[in-house]
């Protein structure tokens, strides 16, 4: 179950990125989005010189559907939010993911990125394994053949390869200081109030002065020898969270500057942020485990930024068209004999990260 949840989290994260990257831009000079006729019978969409068939989309859709059902059960499709069903949401997610992959294949062609012979051989092997796992019922339901599976794996591999090409110059070495993560406790006295409708209003000068006097008194108590800061925080703080671990750039500047300037066990002066007045106690000036994790996060953020800049500039040059009639006809497959869910797992066997 944990393994399946990890897979679902990865799919959803990739889908969110895909949806963001393939979002329509209708501004002057932006991406051209065209809803038109003249499609082939099973052609779902076109983007630039690439085309997506119904069979290709159904492979992604059926695998995603069955992975959801393995984790959450078949009743999950009854969920609806803001008038949008989960089925509609998953369809849009799959459409966005395939549009991203097709676009990256076009980008690969422009950059001269190709698969080598060894990679092509792995694609053939992976396709044979996955296609061989499909029952005749599944093959008919997906309207898929071996050549389609090979093409899907080939495009997926090419998309990954061009991504690696774009991010290869990103320096993976992050210093301890840049990624340093500290752990603090704090006490907050707010300088604004929120009404029942969620509207926020700043305190008057008199109310703000009273808040400052209160935090000053609390600080004097915190400085007393033997005083338990966490106990004071649980008694007086107007923030439900007492302890924070964070790196640089993750908190409001005034709070962060004060926190990073403390030694272990030291208590800050009164710090004003947009939330109110704080006093901060440093529990740890350096957390090795958290710092190492933050290094990975910083590298990934830099890679996404580098990729996003090049991808966004490229995708704006492409015209896209959607076969609305066919798209509206496509639905999930509710058939107990259609259980395929390991399309991406088979790929990972031959192209491990």
Q: State pLDDT tens for residues 141-192.
A: 999 999 999 999 999 999 999 999 988 888 778 888 788 889 999 999 999 9
pLDDT at residue 31 in the model:
41
* Cα-Cα end-to-end distance for the chain: 22
Structure confidence at residue 81 (pLDDT): 87
Instruction: Please determine, for residue 37, whether its predicted confidence score (pLDDT) is greater than 70.
Output: no
The pTM of the full predicted model, rounded to 2 decimals, is 0.65
More confident residue, 93 or 2: 93
Q: What is the pLDDT of residues 298-341, one digit of tens each?
A: 888 888 888 889 899 998 899 989 999 999 999 999 999 999 99
SS3 272: strand
**In angstroms, rounded to a whole number, what is the distance separating the alpha carbons of residues 185 and 245?**
9
What the block records as the tokens of 261 is 């300037």
| 193-251 confidence digits (pLDDT tens) | 887 777 888 999 999 999 999 999 999 999 998 899 999 999 999 999 999 999 888 99
- What is the C-alpha separation between 142 and 131, in angstroms, rounded? 11
Length of the chain: 353
Q: Whole-angstrom Cα distance, residue 214 to residue 227?
A: 17
Tell me the pLDDT of the chain averaged across its residues: 87
Distance between CA atoms of residues 349 and 252, nearest Å:
43
Nearest to 344 by CA among 59, 50, 55, 21: 59
Q: From CA 296, how far away is CA 184, in angstroms rounded?
A: 22
pLDDT digits (tens, 9 = 90+) for 79-107: 888 888 999 999 999 999 999 999 999 99
Q: How far apart are CA 211 and CA 53, in angstroms?
A: 63
**Cβ-based burial of 325 (10 A; exposed 0-12, middle 13-18, buried ≥19):** exposed
Identify the band that residue 273 occupies on the pLDDT scale cut at 50, 70 and 90: very high
- Name the segment(s) of the chain with CATH classification 3.10.50.40: 182-285
pLDDT digits (tens, 9 = 90+) for 288-299: 888 888 888 888
Class of domain 182-285: alpha beta
Q: Which letter, b or e, does each residue of 215-226 get, where b requires 16 or more Cβ atoms within 10 Å of its Cβ?
A: beebbeebeeee
Nearest to 99 by CA among 15, 8, 12: 15
């Amino acid at each position: 179950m944990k393994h399946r949840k990890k897979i679902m989290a990865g799919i959803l994260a990739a889908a969110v990125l895909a949806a963001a990257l393939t979002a329509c831009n209708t501004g002057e000079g932006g991406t051209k989005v065209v809803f038109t006729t003249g499609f082939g019978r099973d052609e779902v969409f076109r983007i630039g010189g690439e085309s997506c068939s119904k069979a290709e989309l159904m492979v992604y859709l059926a695998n995603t559907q069955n992975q959801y059902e393995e984790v959450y059960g078949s009743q999950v499709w009854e969920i609806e939010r803001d008038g949008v069903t989960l089925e509609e949401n998953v369809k849009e997610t799959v459409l966005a993911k395939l549009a991203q992959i097709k676009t990256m294949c076009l980008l690969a062609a422009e950059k001269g990125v190709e698969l080598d012979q060894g990679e092509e051989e792995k694609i053939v092997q992976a396709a044979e394994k996955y296609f061989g796992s499909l029952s005749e019922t599944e093959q008919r339901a997906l309207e898929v053949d071996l050549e389609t599976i090979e093409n899907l794996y080939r495009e997926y591999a090419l998309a990954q390869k061009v991504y690696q090409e774009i991010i290869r110059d990103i320096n993976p070495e992050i210093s301890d200081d840049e990624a340093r993560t500290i752990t603090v406790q704090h006490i907050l006295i707010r300088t604004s109030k929120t009404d029942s409708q969620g509207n926020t209003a700043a305190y008057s000068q008199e109310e703000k002065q009273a808040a400052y006097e209160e935090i000053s008194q609390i600080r004097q108590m915190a400085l007393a020898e033997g005083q338990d800061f966490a106990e004071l925080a649980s008694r007086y703080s107007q923030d439900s969270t007492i302890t924070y671990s964070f790196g640089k750039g993750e908190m409001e500047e005034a709070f962060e500057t004060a926190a990073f300037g403390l030694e272990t066990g030291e208590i800050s002066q009164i710090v004003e942020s947009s939330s109110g007045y704080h006093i901060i106690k440093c529990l740890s000036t350096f957390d090795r485990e958290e710092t190492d994790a933050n290094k990975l996060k910083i590298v990934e953020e830099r890679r996404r930024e580098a990729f996003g800049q090049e991808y966004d500039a490229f995708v704006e040059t492409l015209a896209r068209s959607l076969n609305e009639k066919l798209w509206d006809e496509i639905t999930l497959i509710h058939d107990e004999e259609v259980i395929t869910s390991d399309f991406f797992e088979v790929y990972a066997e031959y192209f491990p990260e």
